[in-house]
């Protein structure tokens, strides 16, 4: 697990710092919705049960791919706030090595101030999305390891 003294990856750190500069909750939501617009989209064919995040009120689908030791996520969601949360995570995680993603904890959301603005169901959804993305990375690493044997 990532300790409090260990810095966040650069992209994620920039996102957290930007949220910290925004005092108004409405502006935080606007910034979150900006991430929703930037989500690398999934085709309908990829929106299958294996890519669906369970425990979210919204429909959320996420894929992950590892190339040259870095992870790339893509996603789809039927709700803009949730899509913004996914987009925030994608912006913060894409390009990181798998082991770095697996060492992260979702506690950085508290540093953004979003945790106090989100409804309990959206907050729970954020944690489910975060863990789902980590499980996707584990699944890829496991598949790659077993294919080498």
Rg of the chain (C-alpha set): 15
Active site residue 35: no
Annotate 45-65 with DSSP letters as a single string: GG-SGGGBPTT-SS-EEEEEE
DSSP structure string for 4-35: TTSPPPHHHHHHHHHHHT--SHHHHHHHHHHH
Of 15, 16, 56, 88, the active-site residue reads 56
Question: What are φ and ψ of residue 118, in 5° steps?
Answer: -75, 145
Residue 114 structure tokens: 């979003």
User: Mapping DSSP to helix (H, G, I), strand (E, B) and coil, where does residue 76 land?
Assistant: strand
Residue 116's SS3 state is helix
Nearest to 88 by CA among 68, 65, 108, 117: 108
- The residues annotated with a catalytic role in the active site are 56
């Amino acid at each position: 697990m990532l300790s409090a003294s260990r810095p966040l990856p650069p992209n994620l750190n920039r996102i957290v710092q930007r949220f910290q500069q925004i005092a108004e909750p409405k502006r935080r939501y606007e910034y979150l919705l900006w991430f929703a617009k930037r989500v690398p989209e999934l085709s309908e064919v990829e929106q299958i049960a294996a890519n669906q995040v369970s425990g979210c009120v919204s429909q959320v689908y996420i894929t992950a791919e590892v190339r040259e030791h870095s992870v790339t996520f893509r996603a789809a969601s039927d709700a803009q706030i949730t899509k913004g949360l996914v987009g925030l995570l994608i912006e913060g995680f894409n390009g990181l090595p798998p082991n770095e993603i697996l060492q992260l904890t979702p506690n950085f959301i508290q540093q953004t101030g979003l945790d106090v603005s989100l409804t309990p169901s959206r907050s729970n959804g954020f944690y489910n999305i975060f863990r789902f993305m980590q499980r996707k990375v584990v699944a890829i690493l496991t598949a790659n390891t077993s294919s080498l044997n």
